[in-house]
Structure 1
Amino acid sequence: MNATIAPTGIRSRIDGSLPGGIVAVATAIPAFIGYTAQATLDGTDCTCVPVKIGSMAEFDAIFTGPPGTRPQAPRYRVTVLPSPPADGDDDAETVGFVSCRIAPDPATVYWLRDSVRMFFENGGTEARIVSAGPFGAASGHAAPPGAAFVDALVNPNVRLADLQAALAALKTSSDVTLYVVPEATLLPDADALALTQSLLAQSAALGTCLTLLDVKGGLRPDPQAWPQDIAAFRRSTGDIGLDFGAAYYPFLITALRSGTLDYTDFDGGDARALLPVLNPDAMPNPAAAQLLQAIAAGTAPDVAKNHQALLIASPAYAALIAIVERKAGTLPPSGAVAGIFARVDADAGVWTAPANVVPAMVADLTLRLSDQDQAGLNVDAVSGKSIDAFRLFAGRGVVLWGARTLDGNSQDWRYVPVRRTAVMVEQSIRAWLRSLVFAANDANTWAYAQSAIEQFLTGLWQAGGLQGTKPSEAFAVQVGLGTTMTADDLLDGVLRITVLLAITRPAEFIVIGIEQPLAIG
């Protein structure tokens, strides 16, 4: 018999006499839910249909448009301020000699595509995409000024009903092991709360996947008041399915948008709106002004050439583009986390903590946390809900520095690798047990099942997935009449198996109960 204990990277096989051994299920297959430019597969609409992809090229072919289609980008409005920026307006900037606000139109902010790209950039190889619908229309105005930027950045085109319909489409997708909904933080607070609880409840009900959550408030955290966002998030998660969820904070400032934006991303593409910034009275720039006028008049139609000419003619334009690329590249962390899960699973096994990992394409964080800050995220005396942090360390850069589930008070399920290893073991055994559906519920079948499971778990132990100096300290398998089954179970044709796993410490077992209906009692 061959017992494969990890789908990629880490493999351990045990030779034996039993055919058709247990093979570990895939452990890092995320389902991304969100909005797309289109949703067309082989000429058929696939909105609210899980679609398998293995690359960004596949994503774009199905959800972005024909080759050469420019991916959606937020629209920004530049407003010149009459005086230097006031405290409390996080979008206030000084560009050259001009004070201005650079804020997005909230109705044009979407995070799905960039989050999927972060998944692939960080080690992901396969995902499911569930489009909740097409992008909505721009509102034509920027987010209002003020310190409550996060509250202001609610995309009216992102609707709870759309996202919940897409989530419901995953109820029968047993191969999905992670839920990722980066645009959940663009919902109003009450809707974000409802969606979070729906995600956790479905994860717990299915028992096959972990929900990766982003903390609403992580986009523009107040340097002093950010703990209020954490407290609000903890209140919003409810009490169901906490061991099937993990939350990450703060948002990541990525390099994904570097070199992708130009003047058409401002003020609906009206180049004249940039004149007060690029050609201010205090420091006129006739070359930039002339080019902007030509663009507005339609006599300079080549966007790429105009963009390069403006970069050369105007340092203020180059500074403006850099600011917007940083803003547009600031993302919820869940997509990168899903990729890190896939990378760690492949390199070291699902039982290894997906932490102390440097994410790819990340330049900075929206908030730099201290050891004391993180201590408050790890453990909360009131709610018991843990939140995993990204940290910035000198000499290393940004690092994912936590691997806890939301269920911080649980003795069994407080750590992500423990929950995910248990899910992998349970689902692998369940998948194999289906081959016994026509077997008799007798001692021969019980011995056969016990032997197969023990060989599978021996391979897992030898690879380092279970703790103990010998198999008896690492696992136990129980099956049989008077042990896990009653006479009624035999009459009903139900095979019941109990598996004990020492995932964190030798001989300290987590108990998993598995049952399989049999056609023959």
Structure 2
Amino acid sequence: MGQYKTPGVYIVEKNAFPNSVVEVATAVPAFVGYTEMADNKGTSLSNKPWRISSMAEFHSYYGYAPHAQFTIAPKDDKTDKDFDLVTPNSNPKEVKPYMLTQDTGKYLLYYSMMLFFQNGGGPCYIVSVGSYADDIDAEKLTAGVDLLKKEQEPTMVVIPEAMLLDKDNCTSVQQAMLRHCGETMRNRFAILDIHDGYKERTDPSGDCINAFRDALGINNLDFGAAYYPWVNTTIVQERSLGYENITNLPDLQALLKTELQFADALTDDDKKDPKRVAAFNAIADIGNAWDKDASLTPDVVATKKIFLNKTLVAISPVFNVILDVIKRRLNLLPPAAAMAGVYTATDNQRGVWKAPANVSLNSVSAPTVNITHAEQEDLNVTTAGKSINAIRTFIGEGTLVWGARTLDGNSLDWRYINVRRTMIMLEESIKLASKAYVFEPNVANTWVTIKGMIRNFLTGIWKRGGLAGASPDDAFAVFVGLGETMTPEDILEGMLRVTVLVAISRPAEFIEITFQQQMQKS
């Protein structure tokens, strides 16, 4: 109340309502990895978290896919091969097995980003820690995670390229992710992949699930979830591949000539057949350095390469098999990025309190390992508590996410992903809203205002299904005040304590239906 010295009418406005709590974003993943470039109109984005909202923006700032190149080589062991060289009227004993080995382009972030947006992804952060000329390095990836400390918006952390490291370095990166989410920030969730997760658990190289559980440790498990197995996707199409994905082009030429039974030069019989002449010329054009011809524009060079690839596809079954093998190799991806998209879509459609499970994956043809009901038991429930969420295929339904547990599977508090993520959302939302009352008088009026603000927010969450209970009083309770949450000494020390109890809804993970016969009544 001001001091009035002049006679007159004065208007005094008072706030009738407390501040409102604004629900923070829950689905903003941060991806750390390697990109073609990292540039924003001349300003470097290297080792700098940058927000994007579409694949078009990713192309603008970070470039395109890595150029993958493979080497074709004959294989002595016929049981470990990618394709056989079969010629017309060939003897089975003369069939030669071949193997493709990837030399360059072993990066996963670009294709993972495509998988993320295909599965409902939205705004996200990218931390580029290197280019396609660099080797995958665990220290760089860990440093990329540390760069996220200054960013407030990200709520998830995903590092697909940790799968390209050896097992020990991969584990160190994943432990850094959990430490960042659970100790440093406490408002983020790590989505992890299983190293060598494309393999069966009975693979001779070892059980990838047990290796993951043994190496990960026990810290901050409630701030992360893991998914198994990897998935076969449809991200890379054959039309984007061609002979330029082969490193040893002379060997490819020799292979195709052997398949089509060409000599070093056209025979007289070959010259009589226009198709044979066109096929021979196409094979000879492999590796033609059109781009070094100053008389040809880039568009003409690109057109020639496309036409040559189409010709090779038309004349050579082996070339088609080679492209198919390359496509399958590049489409083999860890599922964490897809799950980040699923989290985003579920949050937007239903809310963060809905478990991100029983959802089909887009752009996924099948999981690499077909898991049965019995095999999932050890994944979902173990004495160690490190639950692994299964990705399974069901007849008529496609590929579904069939698990919603954190790595802390034995905890009754933090067993489920949606419980942990809902608590993160509630804590952050109320925390940010309560900043308005820092340095306000620590008196009853302030306590009532804060209590009303939090109750209004939680009532809205309860109405939307985020909290369990027949009434708001069953779903939550807010306590604040002297003798209730504070002592006189707390007030003297400037402490204002608020206690919030919430009953978060949990998923119906196991549905039991009991059948029993009864006596005939009529």
Q: Distance in 2 between matches of 1:195 and 1:57?
A: 29
8 Å Cα contact 1:278/1:288 also seen in 2: no
Q: Distance in 1 between matches of 2:362 and 2:255?
A: 34
Once the two structures are overlaid, the 10-residue window that deviates more, 253-262 or 26-35, is 253-262
Q: Distance in 1 between matches of 2:82 and 2:286?
A: 26
Aligned with 1:213 (options 192, 209, 214):
192
8 Å Cα contact 1:158/1:187 also seen in 2: yes
8 Å Cα contact 1:73/1:328 also seen in 2: no
Please name the residue that 2:321 is paired with. Answer: 319
Query: In the alignment, does 2:101 pair up with 1:103?
Result: yes
AA matched with 2:84: T
Distance change >3 Å, CA 476–CA 225, structure 1 → 2: farther
Matched position secondary structure for 1:409:
coil
Q: Distance in 1 between matches of 2:472 and 2:243?
A: 64
Matched position secondary structure for 2:17:
coil
* CA-CA distance at 1:51 after TM superposition: 0.2
* CA-CA distance at 1:82 after TM superposition: 5.0
Please show how residues 120-519 of structure 1 align to structure 2 within 5 Å: 120-136=117-133, 157-205=135-183, 206-221=185-200, 224=203, 228-258=207-237, 259-267=239-247, 270-280=248-258, 283-284=261-262, 287-298=278-289, 301=301, 302-381=304-383, 383-504=384-505
Q: Distance in 2 between matches of 1:303 and 1:316?
A: 19
* CA-CA distance at 1:504 after TM superposition: 3.2
Gaps of 5+ in 1: 1-15, 65-69, 138-156, 507-521
Q: Distance in 1 between matches of 2:281 and 2:484?
A: 86
AA matched with 1:298: A
Residue deviations 1:216-262 (CA, integer Å, cap 9, x gap): 01134465458711001011211111000000111111111113211
Please name the residue that 1:40 is paired with. Answer: 39
Q: Distance in 2 between matches of 1:27 and 1:35?
A: 25
% identity of equivalent residues: 37
Q: Distance in 2 between matches of 1:296 and 1:58?
A: 33
8 Å Cα contact 2:227/2:335 also seen in 1: yes
Q: Distance in 2 between matches of 1:492 and 1:43?
A: 51
Matched position secondary structure for 1:179:
strand
- The two structures have a TM-score, normalised by structure 1, of 0.84
* CA-CA distance at 1:170 after TM superposition: 0.5
Once the two structures are overlaid, the 10-residue window that deviates more, 437-446 or 367-376, is 437-446
Distance change >3 Å, CA 289–CA 386, structure 1 → 2: farther
Matched position secondary structure for 1:353:
coil
AA matched with 1:172: K
Q: Distance in 2 between matches of 1:110 and 1:370?
A: 31
Matched position secondary structure for 2:325:
helix
8 Å Cα contact 2:476/2:502 also seen in 1: yes
* CA-CA distance at 1:181 after TM superposition: 0.2
Residue deviations 1:380-426 (CA, integer Å, cap 9, x gap): 22x21000111011111111111100001101101000000110011
Q: Distance in 1 between matches of 2:326 and 2:420?
A: 39
Distance change >3 Å, CA 192–CA 480, structure 1 → 2: same
Matched position secondary structure for 1:171:
helix
Matched position secondary structure for 2:366:
strand
AA matched with 2:286: I
Distance change >3 Å, CA 472–CA 346, structure 1 → 2: same
Which of structures 1 and 2 has the bigger CA Rg?
Answer: 2
AA matched with 2:245: D
Q: Distance in 1 between matches of 2:206 and 2:391?
A: 15
Matched position secondary structure for 1:457:
helix
Q: Distance in 1 between matches of 2:483 and 2:124?
A: 43
8 Å Cα contact 1:278/1:289 also seen in 2: no
Once the two structures are overlaid, the 10-residue window that deviates more, 238-247 or 486-495, is 486-495
Query: In the alignment, does 2:43 pair up with 1:54?
Result: no
- The two structures have a TM-score, normalised by structure 2, of 0.84
Gaps of 5+ in 2: 1-14, 88-95, 263-275, 292-300, 508-522
Kindly report the root-mean-square deviation, in angstroms, between the aligned alpha carbons of the 2 structures: 2.2
Q: Distance in 2 between matches of 1:225 and 1:32?
A: 32
AA matched with 1:292: I
Distance change >3 Å, CA 405–CA 225, structure 1 → 2: farther
Matched position secondary structure for 2:429:
helix
Please name the residue that 1:147 is paired with. Answer: none
Q: Distance in 1 between matches of 2:477 and 2:313?
A: 67
Residue deviations 1:152-187 (CA, integer Å, cap 9, x gap): xxxxx1111111111110112221110000011111
Please name the residue that 1:117 is paired with. Answer: 114
* CA-CA distance at 1:275 after TM superposition: 2.4
Q: Distance in 1 between matches of 2:36 and 2:504?
A: 43
8 Å Cα contact 1:80/1:276 also seen in 2: no
Residue deviations 1:484-507 (CA, integer Å, cap 9, x gap): 22333323323221111111369x
Residue deviations 1:358-397 (CA, integer Å, cap 9, x gap): 111001121111111111110122x210001110111111
Please name the residue that 2:93 is paired with. Answer: none
Q: Distance in 1 between matches of 2:57 and 2:308?
A: 31
AA matched with 1:99: P
Matched position secondary structure for 2:235:
coil
